[in-house]
Amino acid sequence: MTSPDFTTTITVDNTPSDAFNAINNIGEWWEGVIEGNTKELNDEFTYRMKEFHFSKQKIVEFVPNEKVVWLVTESSLSFIEQHGEWTGTTISFDITTINNKAQIRFTHHGLVPQIECFGACSNAWGRLIQESLYSLITTGKGKEIF
């Protein structure tokens, strides 16, 4: 049996459009250096956090106010033995409306307990989504968490 992918959910008193726009304003909530485009289907961007993390993502699904999916095409995580664990995984943001609130379900498909970076990466994603992205959507400013 396969373990579940890492998932976390936030609910905000904002519109799906607010949530969608914040998600795609990656440099305001994902702490580190973002290079490239992040606003439409097939855009590609890189993320770097010092010498610890490099990854390249391609936006493979882009449905305004509903969903964004990134495919990780390259990765190098220096703090684990298998540096390329993220390569080939996908990261999705599903936006729905529940009781007039926007709910964002974040899933890193392929980030499962069996891989080495699960503990550190799931903790980082949890904080980024629950604290920084949440803050960006609700206040207009992401939170520095690292």
Asked whether residue 26 is assigned to any structural domain, the reply reads yes
**142: Cα separation from own chain's centroid:** 13
For residue 128, CA distances in Å to 53, 56, 99, 100 come to 15, 18, 24, 24
Asked whether residue 18 is assigned to any structural domain, the reply reads yes
Mean pLDDT of 111-130: 94
Asked whether residue 133 is assigned to any structural domain, the reply reads yes
What mean pLDDT is reported for the chain?
95
Strands 67-77 and 44-49, sheet pairing: unpaired
**DSSP H stretches of helix in 6-85:** 16-23
- Tell me the backbone φ, ψ of residue 125, rounded to 5 degrees: -60, -45
Asked whether residue 50 is assigned to any structural domain, the reply reads yes
Residue 57 bridge partners (DSSP)? 45, 72
Domain CATH for 26: 3.30.530.20
Please report, rounded to a whole number, the percentage of residues in the chain having pLDDT higher than 90. Answer: 94
The predicted pLDDT at position 91 comes to 98
The predicted pLDDT at position 146 comes to 75
The predicted pLDDT at position 2 comes to 61
Mean pLDDT of 116-140: 96
As for how many domains the chain has, the answer is 1
Measured distance CA(112)–CA(6) in Å, rounded: 6
Asked whether residue 123 is assigned to any structural domain, the reply reads yes
- pTM for this structure? 0.95
> In which band, very low, low, confident or very high, does the pLDDT at 140 lie, cut at 50, 70 and 90?
very high
The predicted pLDDT at position 143 comes to 93
**118: Cα separation from own chain's centroid:** 14
Domain hosting 97: range is 6-139
Asked whether residue 100 is assigned to any structural domain, the reply reads yes
Measured distance CA(70)–CA(146) in Å, rounded: 23
Tens digit of each residue's pLDDT (9 = 90 or more) over 85-102: 999 999 999 999 999 999
